[in-house]
Structures are given as structure tokens and as C-alpha cells.
Structure 1
Amino acid sequence: MEKPTRLALLKEIAEFLNEETETYNMIQSALKYLIEGTTFTTGWIFFIDDDGQHELVAHYDLPGALAKQNCKYMCEGTCWCVQAYQNKKLTKASNIINCSRINLANRAFHEESEGITHHATVPLRSGDELFGLLNVATPYKTSYSEEDLELLESVAFQIGSAIKRIALTDQEKEAARISERNRLARDLHDSVNQLLFSVKLTAHAAQGISNEEVSRKAFNIIEETSQQAVNEMRALIWQLKPVGLEQGLVKAIQNYSDVLQLDLTVSVEGLINLPSNIEENIYRIIQEGMNNTKKHAQDTEIKLKLAQNQDYFYVEIKDYGIGFNMQQTSYNNSHGINNMKQRAKAVKANIDITSEENNGTQIYIKVPL
């Protein structure tokens, strides 16, 4: 199949990126367009955070040596291009003369290198904002022409602009979701919650004036059921709208633990003073962790540590329940876990969740400030 011209390829990628609304799907597909539309045969993309920690977020047609053991050699250790990127020395598309990742992989699986020994790299950026690196390679090729590098820079700029656009769109959607949640929380509180409370009071009153034992028992059941419904409604309203967050993160968490009837111990180091976006997302992550303890841990004890300094905000959430097996497929597909990870990513935080059966669950969050 004949390759498109470079101008046609850039147009094709641009049209695709303008329609895409999800970052990871966009990156993977854009990489596929690039590799299939050029003489490059493989490529991979890293996201890199402010600490220099890199995440392999997309790859296409990697040679066997690099793909082995779930891309082990791509994910572990460091390399020149990531270090140069972190040190602000990698500002344009460049040839990489010596790649430690490729060297280690080829040394371990030399029969599966497929001729890949060198690669080219280019930062993904939008204006002054950097997101990571785009790398490409071709068998038995040790350097790339200026024309190839210019193409890489153009594609990298397109992808970087798309990442920024999607992030801004997601922020607008999140603001709209928060507004709608707040409206729904108010409506539930003013209507359904008040009706349930009225039913509870009426049942209690009727129980006191009834002379029949059967009636009194029925009204008692109605009262208890109504109280349970009121408790559930309060918890739902708290999930929709963190009432009390205006009094601070610690107060909101303590109030929510009371709603869930959890035994919460909070320790604080430093002055907790967070931007509203970080505070909202961190609260939602902690809230999700507390919900999981309530639903699954078969225990009510939670220990929470919050610490802030001039560089980081740090959170530890620990329960002492039954835990779970992190190797199970259901863990990776958990809506709650994925929601916590997405919220962490929204504030550029690192989140680490660990658990063992019969040994509780721990959540660690580190947010750069």
C-alpha cells in the first residue's frame, strides 16, 4: 500500500485529532497513523510528570525484545531522553545515538530485536507546557533525516495541542458536572429527604397513639425503615455535594465519616491550604476510599494522615478490613478504583493502592503543589 504524502498524512492526523475526545485513545490512534503512514515501523509514547516519573501510555508494533514481559524494559529504569527532557535540554526532535532501554532489551533477547537499535525522540508540547515524549524507530537505521525529524515535530505538536484541548474540555465538563451535582443535592435535600423525615415522624407519632400491637409494630417498622432511608439519602447527598468542604478538608472528611458511621482517626502535619480544584478531587478520592471501606472491608476503622509542605500534599488512607486480591480482573475493572485514579491524574498526583486478603487496604496520594 502506497504511503500518503507528508502533507496528506499531517492533514489526516489533524482531522482525526480534532474529533477525538479521550486522551489515551487519541494518543494510541495518532501513533498508529504516524507509523502506518511513514517508513517508521514502531513507536512509543511516554507521559512524564514533574518528578521525571514516566508512564508508557501508548506503543505500536514494538519488536519482541521491547514488548517482552509486558514491556518491562520500556517501563523500568531511566534513559538519556527522559533525563534530557526532565532537564529541559530536549527541546526538539533528535536522534538518539545510544538508547539504554533498547540496549538492555536487545542484550536479553537479541534474537527478537527485529533490527531496532536506535530511535528518534521529540517532546510532546503545547506552548510552554510539556506532556512527554514521542519516540519512533526503523530497523537497521541509526539516524534520521532533517525531513523525518521535522515531520516528527509537526506530529508531536499536533498531539500536544490535542492533549491540551481535551484537558481543557474535561475541565469544563467537570465544572458543569459539579454544578449539576450541587443542584441535584439541593433538590434531594429539599424534597425527598424532607418527605422521608416526615414519614418517620408520622410513623413515630402513630405508633404512640395506636392501641393495637400489630399496628404499633407496623408503624415501628415504617419508622426504622424511614430512618434507614434518611441515612442513605444523607450519604448520597454528601457524595453529590461535599457539604462542609467550605469549612476545610478535614472537617468535611470527619462529617462524612459520621454519616457513614466509620471510626475515623485523622492526623495532620503542616497547614492544609489547597487550591479548590485539588481540594475537591482529593476529597472525592478519600470519599471513595471511605465508601469502599464501608461497603467491602467488613470493618469500620480508618486511619487518615494528611501532610502538606511547600512542595507536596500527601495523603495516607488505611483500613484494617478483609482486603482484596489485586491480581483479580475485577480490581482493574473497578469503577471506584478507576475513578480515584482519574481524579488523581486530574491534579497530576501519584496514587498507589495496595491491598492483601485479610490484611486491609492502603491508599497513598502525593500531589505536587
Structure 2
Amino acid sequence: MQKPTRLALLKDIAEFLNEETETYSMLQGALESLIKGSDFTTGWIFFIDEAGEHEVVSDVSLPGALTKQNSKYMCEGSCWCVQAYQNKKLTKASNIINCSRINLANQAYHEETDGVTHHATVPLKSGDEQYGLLNVAAPHTTHYSEENLELLESVAFQIGSAIKRILLTDQEKEAARISERNRLARDLHDSVNQMLFSVKLTAHAALGMTQEDVSKKAFHVIEETSQQAVSEMRALIWQLKPVGLEHGLVQAVNKYSALLNLEINVQVEGLIDLPNIIEENIYRIIQEAMNNTKKHSHTSTILLKLNQQQHRLLVDIEDEGTGFKEDQVDLQSHGLNNMKQRVKVIHGKITIDTAPDQGTHIHLDIPLK
């Protein structure tokens, strides 16, 4: 099958990127198009955080040697291109003469290299913001032509712009969601919650006025049911709008734990002073963790550690409940997936360490810019 011209390939990739709204599917689709429409036969994309830690977020047709042991050679350790990227010495598409990842994989699994020994790399960026690296390779190729490097740079520019667009769109959507939740919380508080409270007061007053046993029982049931409904409505309003967050994250967490009848031990290092979007999402994540403890862990005690450093926030949420199998983390609740999504929005990392009868430990590492 004839390869498309360079201009046609760039046009196809640009049209695809313009339609994508999710980062990871966008990266995978763009990489697949590049490999299919060029002389490259394999490729992979690293996201790299401010600490220089990398994550493989997309790959196409990796040689078997690089996929062994759960892609060990791709995930572990460092390499020249990641270090050069971190030191801002990698500014354009370049040939990598000696790749430690490929070398180690090829030494261990020489028969499964697909002839790949060298790769080309290019940073993914938009303006002054960097996101990671796009790497590509082809069999029995130790040096990639200027034409191929120019193609790589063009695709990387398109991908970097698409990443920036999606991030900005996600931030706008999150701001809109927060605004809508706040509006709905106000409406519920001002209307439904007040009506339920009025029903409760009316039932209480009627209970004191009637002498009939049947009526007393009926008004008593109405009063208790109304009180339960008021309590549930308050919990729902807290879910929608963290009343009290304006007084700080710690106070909001303490109030919500009291609402759930949970005992929370909060330990703080540093001054907790966070940007609004980070504070909102961190609170929601802690809130979700408390909900999961209440529902699933069979314990009423939580340890929360907050450690704000100069450039990052570390959060640890621990309980000594029943825990669960790590390979069933995503099956535990819709809430855990929400937590992971919120961590992505604020560009952080989440680690969930749990086992049956060993409790649950959630660790968050959030960069602060």
C-alpha cells in the first residue's frame, strides 16, 4: 500500500487532532497515523513530570524485547533523552545514537528486537510548556534523515498544540461544572431544604397539639422522616458545594467527616494555601475517600496527612478497614475512577495501596506551579 505524501499525512493528522477531546485517545490515534503513514515502524510517547519521572502513555508496534516483563525497559530507570528533556537540552527532533532502553532490552531478548537499535526523539510542547517526548524507530536504521526529522517535528508541534487545547478545554469544563454545582446547591438549600425543615417543624407542632394516639404516631413518623430527609439533603448539598471550604481545606474536611460520623485525624505540614482549582479537586478526592471508607471499609477512623512543599502537595489518606485486592481497584466503586480523573485534571499522580484486611492507603502527589 502506497504511503501518503508528507503533506497529506500532516493534513490527516491535523484533522484527527482537531476532532479529539480526550488526551490519551488523541495521542494513540496520532501515533498510529504517523507510524502507518511514514517510514517509521514503531513509536512511543512519554509524559514527563516536573521531577523528571516519565510514564509511557502511548505506543504502537513495540518490538517484543521492549514489551517483556510488563514493558520493564520502557518504564524503569532513566535514559539520555529523558534527562536531556528534563535539562531542556533537547529542543528539536534528534537522532539518538545510543539508547540505554533499547540496548538493555536487546541484550536480554536479542531475537525479539525486530531490527530496532536506534530511535529518533522530539519534545512535545506548546509555547514554553513541555509535556513529554515522541519517539519513533525503524528496523536496521541508525540515522534518520533530515526529512524524517522534519516530519517528526511537524507532528510533534501538532500534538503539543492539541494537548494544550484539551487541557484548557478541560479546565474550562471543570470551572463550568463547579459553577453549575454551586448554583444547584444554592437552589436545593433555598427551596427543597427549607420546605423539608418546615414540614418537620409543622409535624412537631401538631404532635404536641393532638391527643389521639393514631395522630401522634403519624406526626411522629412525619417528623422523623422529615429530619432524615433534611440530613440527607444537607449531605447532598455538601457533595455539590463544599460549604466551609472558604474557611480552608482542613475545616471543610473536619465538617464533612462529622456529617458522615467518621473520626478523622488530620496532620498538617507546611502552610496549606492552594489555588482554587487544586483545593476544590483535592477536597473532592478526600471526600470520595471518606465516602468509600464509610461504605466499604467497616471502620470509622481515617488518618489524613497534608504536606505542602514549595512546588508540590503530598496527601495521604489511610484507613485500617477491610481493604480489597489491588487488581479490583477499578471495580470497587465509580468513586475511585472519579478520584483518578480529578488527579489528572490537576496534573498529579495517585497511588492506591490496599489488600484484604490490610486497610487502604491513598497517596496523592500534586505539582504546584
- Tell me which interval the TM-score lies in, with the shorter structure as reference length: over 0.9
Deviation at 1:95, TM superposition (A): 0.8
Match in the other structure for 2:353: 354
After TM superposition, the structure 1 = structure 2 runs for residues 130-169 of structure 1, keeping only pairs within 5 Å, are: 130-169=130-169
Question: Cα 1:109–1:332, aligned 2, differ >3 Å: closer, same or farther?
Answer: farther
Match in the other structure for 1:368: 367
Deviation at 1:3, TM superposition (A): 0.4
Deviation at 1:11, TM superposition (A): 0.7
Q: Mark the runs of 5 or more structure 1 residues left unpaired by the alignment.
A: none
Deviation at 1:368, TM superposition (A): 2.4
Question: Cα 1:236–1:133, aligned 2, differ >3 Å: closer, same or farther?
Answer: same
Distance 2:249 2:269 in 1: 13
Match in the other structure for 1:292: 292
Match in the other structure for 1:41: 41
TM-score computed with the length of structure 2 as normaliser: 0.96
After TM superposition, the structure 1 = structure 2 runs for residues 1-369 of structure 1, keeping only pairs within 5 Å, are: 1-328=1-328, 331=330, 334-369=333-368
Deviation at 1:334, TM superposition (A): 4.1
Deviation at 1:132, TM superposition (A): 0.2
SS at match of 1:169: helix
Distance 2:77 2:276 in 1: 35
What residue identity is the alignment partner of 2:299? D
1:328-352: CA deviations, max 9, x gaps?
A: 2x62684322221222222222221
Deviation at 1:118, TM superposition (A): 1.1
Question: Cα 1:8–1:334, aligned 2, differ >3 Å: closer, same or farther?
Answer: farther
What residue identity is the alignment partner of 1:180? E
Distance 2:277 2:286 in 1: 14
CA contact (8 A) 2:170 2:345 kept: no
1:110-157: CA deviations, max 9, x gaps?
A: 211111111111000101110000000101111100110010000000
Deviation at 1:327, TM superposition (A): 1.1
What residue identity is the alignment partner of 2:351? D
Question: Cα 1:282–1:84, aligned 2, differ >3 Å: closer, same or farther?
Answer: same
Distance 1:161 1:58 in 2: 17
Distance 1:182 1:273 in 2: 22
Question: Cα 1:342–1:114, aligned 2, differ >3 Å: closer, same or farther?
Answer: same
What residue identity is the alignment partner of 1:202? T
Runs in 1 of length 4+ with deviation above 4 angstroms? none
SS at match of 2:326: coil
TM-score computed with the length of structure 1 as normaliser: 0.96
What residue identity is the alignment partner of 1:361? T
Distance 1:245 1:225 in 2: 29
Distance 1:367 1:89 in 2: 25
Deviation at 1:51, TM superposition (A): 0.4
Deviation at 1:37, TM superposition (A): 0.2
1:236-275: CA deviations, max 9, x gaps?
A: 1111111111111111111111221211111212221111
What residue identity is the alignment partner of 1:216? K
**RMSD, matched Cα:** 1.5
Distance 1:212 1:285 in 2: 50
What residue identity is the alignment partner of 1:44? W
Distance 1:175 1:208 in 2: 48
* Greater alpha carbon shift after TM alignment, 269-278 vs 234-243: 269-278
1:184-238: CA deviations, max 9, x gaps?
A: 0001111111122222222323333333434433333332222222222111111
Question: Cα 1:42–1:334, aligned 2, differ >3 Å: closer, same or farther?
Answer: farther
